[in-house]
Structure 1
């Protein structure tokens, strides 16, 4: 390829062209280019930039429940139905992780990521001492309702879709029962129903896996926290950490993976988050867990079986964080205009990032049709 031709094509295409030919070896002592977090985030942000004429891409700090809370709104056509994602944890924000899986969603939905009270950007925007006493399940459900009403008003919508993940499925399911007139349908991913059953089943599965693997250290640590959960219904955070450590090691968080290092690395590259926001994640998670885990331990939504909105469950076959056998046993008792469980055979708890293609297909084929014709003209 002549130098003249090289000058006529963009640098990116030139690199692609050059890659077809053998390259000169790189010497071991030759300097390599490195990037800062901000530079990486900028590259990712540029790739996922919404450029369509009817698209929407905005981050908003909005007044919810007496404090400042943050949402991210992204979609390539603002006439698409809104999908509100309610993250898990407590405190495990999805906004800085969305870049890894939701670009396809943005062709079919206007996707809203919400950092809940005490989490992520919302944690950083408020005085933690004032927020800490307000961290209750009831307050969080009320916050979710206010977020939905805000979206209805700002984007002129009567209804939206809600997807609740893990801890967020507690908020989402409660919202679906209380305000079915606000929702086209509810999607539960890693649905949490009963705190005691969730911990008991997950712990038993993890201990069984450790014993079958002959992992003496894992067995020792797990047996040391027995009884788990405590007989008085409590679930001390220190015990939860031991359980989650080994559950994650045996693929109960992400199938086939022994850690969530990839998850943490993805968060740090987020174009949605500043360095200050990244630094706030751990502090917000710690505060949220200590305040909300005792409430979650006493939680029981298994009696919540009557809904006036469709209920769709995304269940990871290998999920041992919110064991899928629990929600599979509950769903047959549910009365709803429509109900369905969709199994993800290669996923555990992090379904959206583990099987992003299949999640997109099911959102489009099984969820979006419930919006029907109740959309602005195209």
Structure 2
């Protein structure tokens, strides 16, 4: 489960979003001493920052694609972003976490190099981000279930297969998105070169129990009386009735001790990146918070009820990416689950210096494994990526 955003700060005690103006100063005088109260030499608006970022990652190749597309799926409008340097490359659909924590706004921090090898699709799920902003809650509510959102995902996949003339695509599920990923890979294994599991939710109840135990263990070891008091106050955890308040306490301290991003005590780095997103307007950013609360009210219990302990037979290859320090979706559960998987091929990759946010914590290694471990599966299926021409002297 990826953290909930700032609208729930009072509940989940996450830090709110950063400001919308950014300042920097420079002084070329060797003798100059900056005043503690001096005003910045210049300021830059959010619009200017996002324009620079967008220009920097511009896709200019003749075969490239850079589009945002509104699809009408099951009665509502749902938004996707499609980016890649060569539309002949394999398609990779990213199923984001949360529920309702879209990856599109921060994807510019890790995705651009992927676009050399894949046509990457970010989808704002029902209740999330741009899709939340485009619809009423009343219209979205009937499909706010694991089954309903898996149906949505299936229609996105069908659109992509038809749009790009592909028999198969890659399916990547992160955190909550891994719930939809397993469900979809089980239904339609013939649609996928591989299911790429990242921060897998294996068993919702065990997931929460392990994350809580980690946080309490760390709090006791560090003599953090505030944390110990708050965590013991919600015991036994998760119990039979898991509330947003109780999840918030567990999440707060599990994150503080690096179970979300290793070595970090909070999620501000990601929130700040979203604030600068070249893919999101101010209205879109505001919709993340509202969508998070709406989605959790519908999906918290279904998330706790997830049980893939015995869902281990796959008709497509499976790659499982695990952060060695992940306690948001505890790594040991995913590693044990991997041991029982039966698939045409499978591979476990453990990121030694990551927790839950592997693609941001170790972006180079993440890309390397996508290229070395995933891409050959497309070639093996007879859908080779365009040959790269290297010029040497």
Do the two structures share a fold, i.e. TM-score over 0.5?
Answer: yes
1:41 paired residue number: 50
How far 1:42 moved relative to its partner?
A: 1.0
2:127 to 115, 118, 123: 118
Matched residues in 1 for 2:251 and 2:344: separation? 36
1:260 paired residue number: 267
Residue 235 (str. 1) matches residue 239 (str. 2): no
1:140 paired residue number: 149
- Rate the CA distance shift 1:33–1:164 in 2: closer, same or farther, 3 A: same
Which SS does the other structure have where 2:104 is aligned?
coil
2:217 paired residue number: 208
- Rate the CA distance shift 1:223–1:158 in 2: closer, same or farther, 3 A: same
How far 1:63 moved relative to its partner?
A: 1.1
How far 1:134 moved relative to its partner?
A: 2.4
2:176 paired residue number: 167
1:196 to 184, 200, 205: 205
Matched residues in 2 for 1:30 and 1:366: separation? 51
Scaled by the length of structure 2, what TM-score is found?
Answer: 0.88
2:10 paired residue number: none
- Please list the CA deviations of residues 48-96 of structure 1 after superposition, one character each: whole Å capped at 9, or x if unmatched: 1111111110000111222100000001111110000000000111000
2:15 paired residue number: none
Matched residues in 1 for 2:232 and 2:40: separation? 50
Which SS does the other structure have where 1:97 is aligned?
helix
1:286 paired residue number: 293
User: What is the total number of aligned residue pairs between the two structures?
Assistant: 357
How far 1:129 moved relative to its partner?
A: 2.3
How far 1:288 moved relative to its partner?
A: 0.8
Matched residues in 2 for 1:51 and 1:98: separation? 19
Which SS does the other structure have where 1:104 is aligned?
helix
Which SS does the other structure have where 2:112 is aligned?
coil
Which SS does the other structure have where 2:42 is aligned?
coil
- Structure 1 gaps of 5+ residues are 1-18
Residue 321 (str. 1) matches residue 328 (str. 2): yes
Residue 57 (str. 1) matches residue 89 (str. 2): no
Scaled by the length of structure 1, what TM-score is found?
Answer: 0.92
- Please list the CA deviations of residues 240-281 of structure 1 after superposition, one character each: whole Å capped at 9, or x if unmatched: 001000000000100000000111110110000111101101
Which SS does the other structure have where 2:161 is aligned?
helix
Residues 76 and 135 in structure 2, CA contact (< 8 A), matched pair in contact too: yes
Which SS does the other structure have where 2:283 is aligned?
helix
Question: What is the aligned-residue RMSD (CA, Å)?
Answer: 1.5
Residues 89 and 119 in structure 2, CA contact (< 8 A), matched pair in contact too: yes
Matched residues in 2 for 1:376 and 1:22: separation? 53
Q: Which stretch of structure 1 is more off in the superposition, 336-345 or 28-37?
A: 28-37
